[in-house]
Structure 1
């Protein structure tokens, strides 16, 4: 029986992945998490589930278990505290790879962030220069993994903006930070409906992340064939890019807020809004404002690997989120249940 280790298993993405694997594989799952009480979408006493309870910084507690795993899906991460981010996002990853048996492990799916890559999926120099502690540590870790002896077995995945769970708390899955922010974003539509911004981005639902990772983890691992890359494979997970204007318009329709012709967000106007509104801006935020278009080519939804998206559009994301729909009946669509 294949043994798959999932780190960060109690998080939003970790639980979507673990649930998918229980439904669509016969693998034994080792779920590494700090607090078992947060495991809400997966039965802790499932016969194919074994919990590894502990902090990722205490990797040596599970030396015996790590030597037996065939696949690793590493979603665990840390941010906010620079010292902890360094220990979890860089040092612990290095130690985890050291403890894997190179003759037993077949594949490692390593979670990073799309923020550290440019349009062509190359490392973005500004990530290390201006990034938060989270972004900087992810950039440094990727740099090390590119040269690692196990690089040919590593698939580095880079989620774009992640939705998941529900704003009303009725989902068995934890709510992602982005989905939690939908209610707050709705409260600013009175202002956003007057503005226009030349910017764009990708998004992806955690269920679609699970489908991509599940397809990788349940198929034979293959050498990297992505053009312009080395042994380590880079996959940016997301739907096709959407403009900020289209996103605001969609949210306005969903919430029944009228859209106006709008005022372009010139650089001087952005600076003025930063000064008069309760907004804290760091060096990375200012780089992001200048960059504007965080898009990637290729970007990978489940369809790129033979799957089908759970939430391919922003409308389906909003429907899945449980955010009340106060718009016209045309926007009141349903999303199929997660399977």
Structure 2
């Protein structure tokens, strides 16, 4: 009998890559929760065993009986704006979703959080829970609950870093949607530099990892796997990224202005720019780095190992 997988947020950027991967690489029965079926662009007709549930997380309690039969759950759905809506969806209804799972039936429960709530050692960052945006604080609160919930022994939380992705048949991530605008300013970007580092990951590579997590031999697989997986390519520096992009677009780097935290704070004060306390904290932090996993961690091959791969994709679209 085919395994059952319940996926929330299937119509999002990452959701599209994941559904496409599971359709082609497994015979699992897929149950896709989407707010608007029209936004789900994946061709679901390629095989049977797919059920689309047009509803939202606010009504997740209606599927309690169904959820209790699931072998796997992948929760990617999230609300970004409106304090009440954010905490209702990202905390209370997400709790309700995972509480409905049967630990005797569910083999793996995968929860999508965000790397922003962790420090460089993949531990909870207290500032995220204190001064983070509504979205950040909701993710912080939800994780604290889930890691002590009845499903905790089946739980793997994944923390994407900067997410890229999107195509004609997939919605673009927030970052990829702005890449075309960045391309317009490459001729100016080459005149700045700054200390800082970060990780990124593409939606297709996220889908590779999640598909592996749902199909790997469970006893062998679970033995050494951390319950927190930060997904991202190896660390990139700000200056290295600028150099790589400029080389790709054949723009020579010469004299550069150093965008130090001191200069950034001066610009904020001079132009009276309103900046949230959380954003100021991240400007001061600068190095957003973690202990990461990549597709290669699981014996797979990343499709976007370099930053220029991301810009090459924009050039094709």
Q: Same-fold call, TM > 0.5?
A: yes
The answer to whether the 8 Å contact 1:110/1:154 transfers is yes
Does residue 1:202 correspond to 2:203, yes or no? Answer: no
Give me the whole-angstrom Cα distance separating, in 1, the residues matched to 2:199 and 2:69. Answer: 37
Report SS of the residue matched to 1:293: coil
User: What is the aligned residue count?
Assistant: 314
Give me the whole-angstrom Cα distance separating, in 2, the residues matched to 1:151 and 1:292. Answer: 32
Does residue 1:49 correspond to 2:57, yes or no? Answer: no
Which of 274, 296, 302 is equivalent to 1:303?
296
TM-score normalized with structure 2 length? 0.93
Residue 147 (structure 1) shift: 1.0
Alignment of 1:42-191 (within 5 A): 42-43=43-44, 46-166=47-167, 171-191=168-188
Give me the whole-angstrom Cα distance separating, in 1, the residues matched to 2:137 and 2:184. Answer: 32
Give me the whole-angstrom Cα distance separating, in 2, the residues matched to 1:139 and 1:25. Answer: 32
Specify which structure has the higher proportion of helix: 2
Show the counterpart of 1:332.
none
The answer to whether the 8 Å contact 2:180/2:314 transfers is no
The answer for unaligned runs of 5 or more in structure 1 is 325-339
Could you list the runs of 4 or more consecutive aligned residues of structure 1 that deviate by over 6 angstroms after TM superposition?
A: none
Show the counterpart of 2:212.
215
Which of 219, 228, 246 is equivalent to 2:240?
246
The answer to whether the 8 Å contact 1:193/1:249 transfers is yes
Residue 255 (structure 1) shift: 3.5
Show the counterpart of 1:288.
282
The answer to whether the 8 Å contact 1:165/1:321 transfers is no
Show the counterpart of 1:14.
15
Alignment of 1:265-276 (within 5 A): 265-275=259-269
Show the counterpart of 2:309.
316
Give me the whole-angstrom Cα distance separating, in 1, the residues matched to 2:15 and 2:223. Answer: 24
The answer for unaligned runs of 5 or more in structure 2 is none
Cα RMSD over matched residues? 1.9
The answer to whether the 8 Å contact 2:103/2:154 transfers is no
- For the structure 1 residues 224 and 292, does the alpha-carbon distance in structure 2 shift closer, same or farther, using more than 3 Å as the test? farther
The answer to whether the 8 Å contact 2:295/2:302 transfers is yes
Report SS of the residue matched to 2:208: helix
Which of 257, 262, 280 is equivalent to 2:256?
262
